[in-house]
Amino acid sequence: MKKSILLIVTIGLLSFAAYSMFLRNDATKEVADNSLKEESTANSNDGTVVENSIVYTADEKSDVDYNIDYGLSPDFFLEVGPRLNTITKEELGKTTSFADFIAKEHAQSIVSYKTLDVILLDDTELTKTRVDGKGGNFSEEQLNFLKSFDYSTNILIWAEYTEKDQRTGLLQDNHWTPYLTIVPETQAEYKDGHEALLNYLTENTAEVSFELDKDKLKPGRIYFTITQDGKISNVKVNATCGFDSIDKLMINLIRFTSGKWESAKNAEGEKVNQDLVISFGRMGC
């Protein structure tokens, strides 16, 4: 009888000890989980919450459930590439007239030119650095000006002219303004491809894009350079999207891709730097 009682007491004590250990482990796990959550999120002044210490690769993100199919808010635009329509330095060096920048049918409809100006841009803003001309052909000064531009330079070709309407035969004044970015003959490229880059950026901004006040969202732009060794440098905000936390998130995301790029090359196959732009937030110019 005494042995039976002793056995029951022993079993009871062991069960209580095991249960106490379970409670301690569970409490420790809860504290650790809360600490991780506090470390992985940060409240910004603009009211959004951004995961600023965890960056997911495409493979890792597949294990994270945001319940939104990893898509961006329809109000949030995202793209990466040269700032404007592109022309290579080699192509630019072969141009002699405005007709080289427009379709053949368009060029044939032009009767006379009033002005033909070449203007250096700061992003898309006109600067005072320009060479003006008349007629449809570039002057020698303008040709030398065009040849002087380096890669990633933004320029504007401004032409004003009189053309004949092909339907009515009537003459009308018009103008055409190609905004262009000069790019290397072989442009810098994300090693896993452009689609993979957009997927990576999308998957790391999808959740927060739905939390933004769309009425405060602006067209954001971040410039960055792909160096000759495929690294990221000179990352800077050219225009805020209206949310400082999102600007910082995009900067961190693009910096995380450093070393994952194939560098640009010139016509001789030599590696060169190239500036690219992340356009994000509200769609804009």
Residue 34 belongs to domain spanning? 1-40
Domains: count for the chain: 3
Tell me, yes or no, whether 162 and 226 share the same domain: no
Tell me, yes or no, whether 177 and 247 share the same domain: no
pLDDT for residue 285: 66
Tell me, yes or no, whether 200 and 176 share the same domain: no
Tell me, yes or no, whether 99 and 146 share the same domain: yes
Last residue of a domain, one of 166, 183, 200: 183
Last residue of a domain, one of 131, 163, 183: 183
Round to whole Å and give the CA distance between 157 and 175: 10
Tell me, yes or no, whether 118 and 256 share the same domain: no
Burial class (CB in 10 A: 0-12, 13-18, 19+), 201: buried
Tell me, yes or no, whether 238 and 249 share the same domain: yes
Tell me, yes or no, whether 78 and 196 share the same domain: yes
Tell me, yes or no, whether 4 and 136 share the same domain: no
Tell me, yes or no, whether 63 and 200 share the same domain: yes
Round to whole Å and give the CA distance between 257 and 31: 33
pLDDT for residue 10: 47
Tell me, yes or no, whether 29 and 97 share the same domain: no
Tell me, yes or no, whether 60 and 135 share the same domain: no
The one-digit pLDDT tens for each residue of the chain (285 residues) are 444 444 444 445 444 444 444 444 443 334 334 333 333 333 444 444 344 434 444 444 433 333 334 477 788 889 999 999 999 999 999 999 999 999 999 999 999 999 999 999 999 999 999 999 999 999 999 999 999 999 999 999 999 999 999 889 899 999 999 999 999 999 999 999 999 999 999 999 888 888 888 899 999 999 999 999 999 999 999 999 999 999 999 999 999 999 999 999 999 999 999 999 999 998 876
Tell me, yes or no, whether 30 and 49 share the same domain: no
Pairing of β 179-183 and β 154-164:
antiparallel
